[in-house]
Chain A
Amino acid sequence: ENVLTQSPDTLSLSPGERATLSCRASETVYTSLAWYQQKPGQSPRLLIFDASRRASGIPARFSGSGSGTDFTLTISSLEPEDFAVYFCQHRSNWLGTFGQGTRLEIK
């Protein structure tokens, strides 16, 4: 089973700062990786798929990069509404797997 490990568990930053979130796979996933944002009391929302493609309606300040086993979600300049929990996800052999999540909190 391919395990996704996100780091850090919690990231404390201020609005306007740059956020860098990491997702590492235990085996290569090539570019088969997505990122989701979840705010309290809401359903998750797809941000990035295929490692670097922005989903419809997602602001340009969100970007994804990486391939193989190491991936990064970058938020170039944090807006107040960006403070949330972020999950990465992989798909393989007709199974889905999520990372444990990174909580992005206001410093």
Chain B
Amino acid sequence: QVQLVQSGPEVKEPGDSVRISCKASGYTFSSYYLHWVRQAPGQGLEWVGVINPSDGSVSYAQKFQGRVTLTRSPSTSTVHMDLSSLRSDDTAVYYCARDLTAVTSFWLDPWGQGALVTVSS
């Protein structure tokens, strides 16, 4: 079955960078876009960006432009999200989620289990 397994929780200080990974299995990795969405504690969902695993092309929400980088490793069916210049308000659960269809739709299904990033001095 399709599965997305994310890396574990991270604790960082303000100004640090963090890398979160998302390993895909159960389908052809290059055929489906992968998205990143975050959720601050007790808050709603916020779309971060998307990567095409086939060629590495990306699109980012304007809010994160210049601080976020999405990359992929086809040999391990893994995508990575790097977020730099961390602030306390970056504390959130970060989810990866696969596009529902091979012709990208931006409908997200399934989702990874989430990775909590805590930014605190």
Contact = CB atoms under 8 A, between A and B. Distances in A.
Interface of A: 34, 36, 38, 43-46, 49-50, 55-56, 87, 89, 91, 94-101
A71 to B, nearest CB: 14
Given A43-B113, A46-B100, A49-B100, A94 B108 contact: no
B112 interface: yes
Contacts, number: 64
A100 B44 contact: yes
A94 B44 contact: no
Contacts of B50: 94, 96
B3 to A, nearest CB: 12
Interface residues of B, number: 23
A56 B100 CA distance: 10
B27 interface: no
A96 B44 contact: no
Contacts of A89: 45, 47, 106-108
Contacts of A96: 35, 37, 47, 50, 61, 106
A49 B100 CA distance: 9
A103 B77 CA distance: 35
A87 B44 contact: yes
13 contacts: A43-B110, A43-B111, A43-B113, A46-B100, A87-B44, A89-B45, A91-B106, A96-B35, A96-B47, A96-B61, A97-B47, A98-B47, A101-B44
Given A87-B44, A95-B59, 7 more contacts: A49-B105, A50-B107, A89-B106, A91-B107, A96-B35, A96-B37, A98-B37
B57 to A, nearest CB: 10
B61 A95 contact: yes
Given A96-B35, A96-B50, A44 B45 contact: yes
A50 B101 CA distance: 12
B46 interface: yes
B53 interface: no
B95 interface: yes
Given A43-B111, A55-B109, A95 B100 contact: no
A29 to B, nearest CB: 11
